[in-house]
Amino acid sequence: GENVEQHPSTLSVQEGDSAVIKCTYSDSASNYFPWYKQELGKGPQLIIDIRSNVGEKKDQRIAVTLNKTAKHFSLHITETQPEDSAVYFCAPKTSGTYKYIFGTGTRLKVLA
């Protein structure tokens, strides 16, 4: 089945610094690539997504870059704030269905 891995598994940064999380997937036909933020005890919230016909997308402090050839996409957060502390999941959509396969997760801690 589809394999989805994230690196790193944990990340600590100083407030104001940038954070980058990488998601590697195995299904070369995946065509939709979202990133979710999950706070403790809550459901995941979509923070940014990208489709396979686009290489990069930005929304204020958050950006996503996609490398379809290498089968990975990355989440970039600039000017991090303590409220960015959470677990982040990538969830590429499997081909031919609407199902997501969630990545292994990355715990981001922003130190004030």
Partner 1 sequence: GAVVSQHPSWVICKSGTSVKIECRSLDFQATTMFWYRQFPKQSLMLMATSNEGSKATYEQGVEKDKFLINHASLTLSTLTVTSAHPEDSSFYICSARGTSKTARYEQYFGPGTRLTVT
Q: Which parts of this chain interact with partner 1 (CB under 8 A)?
A: 32, 34, 36, 41-46, 49, 51, 89, 91, 93, 97-105
CB nearer to partner 1: pick between 41 and 112:
41
Angle among Cα 18, 14, 76 to the nearest 5 degrees reads 15
CB nearer to partner 1: pick between 18 and 95:
95
- Residue 16 CB, nearest approach to partner 1 (Å): 28
The backbone torsions φ and ψ at residue 106, rounded to the nearest 5 degrees and listed phi first, read: -135, 125
Strand partners, 13: 110
CB nearer to partner 1: pick between 18 and 45:
45
**What span, in angstroms and rounded, lies between the C-alpha atoms of 48 and 88?**
11
